[in-house]
Amino acid sequence: MGSKEPLLGKSPEELKEIVIKNHLPAFTAKQITEWIYKKRVQSIDEMTNISLKGREALKESYTIGTTNPIWSAQSTDGTKKYLFETAHGNIETVYIPEDDRATLCVSCQVGCKMNCLFCMTGKQGWSGNLTPAEILNQILSIPDSTKLTNIVFMGMGEPFDNLLTILKVCKIVTSDYGLGWSPHRITVSTVGVIPGMIQFIKETDCHLAISLHNPIPEERADIMPMEKKYSITDVVTELKKYDWEHQRRVSFEYIVFDGINDTQRHATALLKLLKGLHCRINLIRFHKIPELSYCSPSESKMIAFRDYLSNNGIICTIRRSRGEDIMAACGLLSSNHKHDKIQ
């Protein structure tokens, strides 16, 4: 985003410090806040209720901080995948329209430290955390931004490995001064980084999703190394301390691998693990990535697995696959365009 500091991602308090530093009236901070988050201007010049002298002073050191995607693709199912350039490399953002919903899957890191076996992002390694401006830019700079109904932090990176930034973005999106969204329109997904998860639960009212993928700790550790530090049994034990029976939800993401985690043994272990926790499980078909032989089971096996869980008291759905013709797997697009720059 260049050498100038972005105003996007700043709180009203931070903007007040900036205007005072630049010898502008304190009320200018409120004006800037409205221009950025309500009117969504692209340049400081558009802030016409700020004096010309004031705008020129701001432009010396600051920019709005929005940038357009450098690449995009649209699937036959309407899904759109975008590539954004950031200070640490390229990241993916996915727009998913469906009936009366429009969900944006955003990234929070360039690469990821979690190194899950089935995830292309983890195979990139970790290059850096996104800033609040770089995350908010994904939300504000796609063509369909004003159509969005939901945001999910299920793109590149582990959100709770960039916790303070995630908390700040959630606050801006849900605050009256920001986008003014209900927190229940936001879901943050984690592999189960317990300290960050606890802080997130306490400081926000946003929904939580846990990347589960195998209920048996020893097997989960084979595909998700973070299991060795934060066991799924400890994650669930912690979750049972909180109330999930009202508007706030906790869900579990479960990519189904044929012959790996889709047996009766795994279904029984899921029931035992989640007993007493008000939650839902989202079964997900595996999107193939290079150098991994895993594949999804047949449709009939997916349905049988879902029905067993549903019939035993767990709300369970099969998530519809989207964007398979535009490199649906998370991290696949950015890996193929790792060194692309704005032309």
Catalytic residue set: 92, 330
In sequence order, which residues have a C-beta less than 8 Å from that of residue 114 and are 6 or more positions away? Answer: 122, 158, 161, 191, 224, 225, 226
The angle formed by the CA atoms of residues 85, 91 and 95, to the nearest 5 degrees, is 110
Task: Report H helices in the chain.
Answer: 12-21, 28-33, 52-61, 132-140, 163-174, 194-203, 217-223, 232-239, 264-274, 299-311, 332-336
Run of H or E including 253: strand 250-256
Report how far residue 309's alpha carbon sits from residue 99's, in angstroms, rounded to the nearest whole number.
27
The angle formed by the CA atoms of residues 194, 199 and 202, to the nearest 5 degrees, is 125
Using the structure block, give the residue that is written with the tokens 């908010």: 136
**Coil, strand or helix at 324:** helix
CA distances from 232 to 38, 49, 66, 207 (A): 40, 53, 38, 18
